[in-house]
Each structure stands twice: as C-alpha cells, then as structure tokens.
Structure 1
Amino acid sequence: MIYKSHDAATPTAGRPRLLPWSNLDGNPCYLVTDDTGTGRLARLADDIEAVQLGMADDLLGHAVDLLGDDKATAPQLRYLAACLAEALHDVHRIARSRGARLPEPHSDEKSRDSVPDEGPGI
C-alpha cells in the first residue's frame, strides 16, 4: 500500500511529521517544523527512528536463528511473533512518516516514470 501526503500543494517542510511515538492515549503524535526540519525534537525523532530500525534488524537476525532451531518451544515462538509484530509496527510508522515527507514529483517526472523502459535490444 502506498501512502500519499495529505496535501500535494503543501511544501514538504510544512507538512506534519508523524513522530515515532504515541501520546498517553495511544494516538499518533505529529510535529510541524520549520523549513530545515533540523530542530531539537526532529533530531530526537530521527535518533529514536534509528534505534527502532536497529532493534528491528537485530530482532530479524534473532528470528532467523530461532526459526532454524528445531528445539524452539511454542512459547518462544509466540514471544518472537509478538516482538516481530511490534517491530513491524515501528518500521511501518517510520516508513509512513518518511514517505509523507517526500516531495511530490513534478508533472514531467511523473510522465517519465509512467513510460516503460524498453531495455537493451536482443
């Protein structure tokens, strides 16, 4: 599924950024930054996203090891599945946040992207 920005006419820097955490009620938190997007809270969000992505990568390595172990128990596999679901949730949120901050392509870039590449002749 591809997520588009809320308003294509809005400059990228003016769009709200989905932060990598929720409020106390579990609702998403957003940040509206200046044109640079390098404020203290934006940098903190970047750091937390980097930690979440690193933890997901480590968990994926652990999952490969555990799934390859014939002696893995059902409780271990259920716990692994729960941890993988949480990590996937974090990674999905990061992808939506970063995707929403991508600039919209210009109309000439869109038309070039829709033309299939002929590739090398045979």
Structure 2
Amino acid sequence: MIETIQLGMAAELLDHAPELLDDVKAGAGELRFLANRLRESLGDVLRVAESRGERLEAYELDAEESGAYEDDDVPEGQEPPPNRRSEPARPAS
C-alpha cells in the first residue's frame, strides 16, 4: 500500500534528520535538501491522515445508518467515536 511506503519513508527521514542537523559541517545545500524532503514527507503524511479520516467518517456513517454500531460494541477501555458518545470524552491521562 502506498500509504505504508509514504509513512515508512517519512519515519526514515525523521530518523536521519537529527544527525544532519547536528552536523556542524553540513552545508546549506544539504540542509535545504533535508528541508525539502521533510516538506514533501509532511505533505504525504497529511494526505494519508486526511484520507484515513475520510474513510473513518464514511465507515462510521455506514455503521450508524445500518444500525450496526452500538455503544455496547466498544471494546473495554476504548472510547466510542465522537458522534456516538453520550457524554463528553475524558481527557487522556
């Protein structure tokens, strides 16, 4: 899946970035190259997040319309989706 490749490449880039940023001998060209790759990866990750959010919304809408989703179906320790909560979500601790 292309999303997996994009996320993997972004993770590798983030792993490499501190090494280059900490290198006092790194030139402007190398840093500009890193900045451009980080920008590209951020764009890819944003597209993945938006796509997954859209798919999640569609899934929740389908489940709600079919009546297949009930609050009792939520695994223990997990919160139901926001549109199915009977009370506000608790802040993460």
**Normalising by the residue count of structure 2, what TM-score does the alignment of the two structures yield?**
0.65
* Separation (CA, whole Å) in 1 of partners of 2:55 and 2:21: 36
Note the residue ranges of structure 2 that are not aligned, 5 or more in a row. Answer: 62-80
* Separation (CA, whole Å) in 1 of partners of 2:50 and 2:4: 15
Structure scoring higher RCO (CA < 8 A, sep ≥ 6) equals: 1
Higher helix share: 2
Q: CA deviation at 1:70?
A: 1.1
Q: Of 91, 96, 99, which residue of structure 1 is paired with 2:45? A: 91
How many pairs align?
70
Note the residue ranges of structure 1 that are not aligned, 5 or more in a row. Answer: 1-46
**Normalising by the residue count of structure 1, what TM-score does the alignment of the two structures yield?**
0.51
Moved over 6 A (4+): none
* Separation (CA, whole Å) in 2 of partners of 1:92 and 1:69: 28
1:24-63 alignment runs, 5 A limit: 47-63=1-17
Cα distance per residue 1:34-72 (max 9 Å; x no partner): xxxxxxxxxxxxx11101100000001111111111111
Aligned-pair identity (%) = 50
